[in-house]
Amino acid sequence: MSRKPYKFCDAVDLYEVPVPENTNSYKAVSNATLITALKAGINSLGMNITGEEYKMSGNGQIITGRIFLGNVEDGLQRCIGTINSYNKTKAVGIACGANVFICANGMFTSELVTLRKHTPNVLNDLQDMISRGLNYLENSFTNAKETKNYFQLVKLNKMAINEIIGQLYIEAELIKDRQLSIIKDGMKNDKNFNMKADPTLWNMYNLITESFKKSNSTTYVKDHITLHKYMYDKCEEWELGGIPQRVSIIQKSDQPFSTMDLPVVEVEEPMKPISTLAPINFLELVPVIEEEIF
């Protein structure tokens, strides 16, 4: 039996993983600093944190997490994903999107905002990264709601389903053997998104993100972002390429999918205010929040 590549855990488990020693050119961002600074940034927006979920792999050397925010709207809830590593394989980063409330599937619609270098001044860069990432929260959530509404209008036949699964499995290698088995079973038996009763692109999307719950924590956030972009591009290909035998639009959308722009993070973009509140130094709040946690 193969060893499970990850395990679910809570935030305290992440804080207990030993932080590597700093060098003259490298400074790790501790999981405690990342999560508490991120929560401080969320609090500065006046948003309520309703839940958290974390994974770690490699004996805690790589972690991913999801933080759920605010009320459920149209079956979706705001969500922020984060990633960090102590073995230098992954840059610390965050991405914004939504949580599909009925099944807790992820849906990350923004690019992953990351730190470019873990220099000795990394804590100052961390605040900038969090500010830039949270700046896309509302735009990403709006995109998620528009995407859901549009995907529910697109019905797939067997040719379209085979095309999607084949490309993601063989060409993109986004779906692995384990995920493929989950998707195949879900197409017949999933109580919320089976393809027998309602073969929509939204159901197909959720069957794939359901399978991502078995993903390694090293690729969890990136897999969701890659899938979202793939589905986005696929809809544009079908609309612009004129291949009606693959899909059937059951209702004409007021806003064509090709005009729904994904928020793209420009690396050199100056930091924008994330709220109308007075600027808050998230890092100053880290010791206070950590004291409340412990």
CB neighbours (10 Å) of residue 123? Answer: 16
Instruction: Let me know: does 172 contact 226? Beta carbons within 8 Å.
Output: yes
pLDDT by residue for the chain (294 residues), tens digit each? 333 456 778 888 889 999 998 887 778 889 999 999 999 999 888 889 999 999 888 888 999 899 999 999 999 999 999 989 998 888 888 888 888 876 778 888 767 787 766 666 777 788 888 888 888 888 888 888 988 988 888 888 888 899 999 999 999 899 999 899 999 999 999 999 999 888 999 999 999 999 988 776 678 888 888 898 898 888 878 764 444 444 444 333 344 333 333 333 322 333 333 333 334 454 454 444 334 333
Quick one: how far is CA 56 from the chain centroid? 16
Residue ranges of domains in the chain: 7-142, 148-259
The pLDDT of residue 32 is: 92
For 28, the 3-state DSSP assignment is coil
The pLDDT of residue 119 is: 67
For 42, the 3-state DSSP assignment is helix
Cβ-Cβ contacts under 8 Å for 234 (sequence gap 6 or more): 164
Return d(Cα 217, Cα 223) in angstroms, integer.
Answer: 10
Return d(Cα 199, Cα 165) in angstroms, integer.
Answer: 14
Return d(Cα 93, Cα 106) in angstroms, integer.
Answer: 16
- The one-character DSSP state at 172 is S
The pLDDT of residue 10 is: 86
The pLDDT of residue 120 is: 66
Instruction: Let me know: does 99 contact 79? Beta carbons within 8 Å.
Output: yes
- Pick from 29, 271, 275: nearest CA to 132: 271
In one letter, which amino acid is 145? Answer: K
In one letter, which amino acid is 252? Answer: K
The pLDDT of residue 195 is: 93
Instruction: Let me know: does 239 contact 246? Beta carbons within 8 Å.
Output: no
